[in-house]
Amino acid sequence: MTGPEHGGRLNAAARQWDIPVSRWLDLSTGINPIGWPMPELPARVWQRLPEDDDGLGDVIRQWAGAPASAACVPVPGSQAAIKTLPFLRPPGRVGIPEPGYREHGHWWALAGHEVIPLPLEAATEAVAWPDQLDVLVWIHPNNPTGFTLAPDRLRQWHERLAVHGGWLVLDEAFADAETGISLVADTGADRPGLVVLRSLGKFFGLAGLRAGAVLTDPQIGRALSDALGPWALSGPARHGMALALADSDWQRRAARRLARDSARLDKLLSRFGLTVSGGTRLFRYVPHAHTERIADGLARQGVLVRRFDRPPALRFGLPGTPEQWRRLEAALSALESD
């Protein structure tokens, strides 16, 4: 089974459109374009084997606001948890939101579970999902639509799943830039069967570091750590992750800037007839009937955006510099005159 496609495939775009990689403006992901500034790392971080008891778990706990009883497991990107969790349960019925980040369904199916698509729009109504499923995966906020639910609803879902030994797997990869979304601080993340995934690849802009965290109950935490094995996260990733998570000043400033920039992107897109229906502070989602014409028209000018077919929509990441904002504006305006 080949895996789902993703944004950020700049080398493929360069080949397809015959434009060198260095000339692209890549808006095809939801990665913060002004990421946390990684300092030079001490030599020992490269040279020594990473050790589990280096205090990173507690740094994650403090940053996420999780209680002492929760497991805080560093992972080499939340992707590592997405592909490992399905093998920690016997095959069962697993609900996956649609549309949504497709890696979840891919891996649960690969591990032999029955994957049941859950339409996003139905989630605000009374649903029987938590009573009927063994595992409910929810991406919160959703990628690509940005759809969110009231945290209380997610808490209720978790309680109903936990009654029969089910899991709620909450993918909070894009939650850092939003306020009041994460279930970790209020619900505790130590409850049986609650599994929360966090990522340093989005808000922190450190996608290449391959670092993330899972906050969960101690039993699932132990099973996940055992399945990942020793040294799953490199020494440089552990060290850089701890520094970034502890830098709350940078986090406050970044959240403010992303709020401003995502509002600015909405205004810019709407000037060119592209109506944003939602998204997060890291990307904006534009349902549109002519996605191919727009995405290809932008790609011809070296601007890469993400195109979705079901339903047809475009996703725009944020430009990072004044020059990039000007480039996007010029490319959109050239589209109009095509």
Ligand X SMILES: Cc1ncc(COP(=O)(O)O)c(C=O)c1O
Q: Which residues bind ligand X (CB under 6 A)?
A: 77-79, 101, 139, 143, 171, 173, 199, 201, 207, 212
Tokens of 251: 């986090």
Report yes or no: 62 and 88 within 8 Å, Cβ to Cβ: no
Q: Taking the CA of residue 257 as centre, how many other CA atoms within 13 Å lie in the half-sphere pointing to its CB?
A: 17
For the CB of residue 118, give the shortest distance to ligand X in the complex, in Å. 15
Nearer to ligand X among residue 19 and residue 232 (C-beta): 232
Nearer to ligand X among residue 130 and residue 144 (C-beta): 144
For the CB of residue 218, give the shortest distance to ligand X in the complex, in Å. 22
Residue nearest to ligand X (CB): 77
Report yes or no: 278 and 237 within 8 Å, Cβ to Cβ: no
For the CB of residue 117, give the shortest distance to ligand X in the complex, in Å. 16
For the CB of residue 322, give the shortest distance to ligand X in the complex, in Å. 27
Quote the CA–CA distance of 242 and 91 in Å, as a whole number: 35
Nearer to ligand X among residue 77 and residue 86 (C-beta): 77
Nearer to ligand X among residue 111 and residue 334 (C-beta): 111
Quote the CA–CA distance of 19 and 268 in Å, as a whole number: 25
Tokens of 101: 């980040």
Tokens of 46: 């490269």
Quote the CA–CA distance of 47 and 163 in Å, as a whole number: 47
For the CB of residue 288, give the shortest distance to ligand X in the complex, in Å. 21
Say how many residues make up the chain.
338
Nearer to ligand X among residue 123 and residue 207 (C-beta): 207
Among 7, 16, 23, 8, smallest CA distance to 301 is for: 23
Tokens of 91: 């095959």
Tokens of 201: 């690849």
Nearer to ligand X among residue 101 and residue 285 (C-beta): 101
For the CB of residue 82, give the shortest distance to ligand X in the complex, in Å. 6
For the CB of residue 81, give the shortest distance to ligand X in the complex, in Å. 8
**Cis link prior to 99 (omega < 30° from 0)?**
yes
Nearer to ligand X among residue 160 and residue 210 (C-beta): 210
Report yes or no: 98 and 117 within 8 Å, Cβ to Cβ: yes
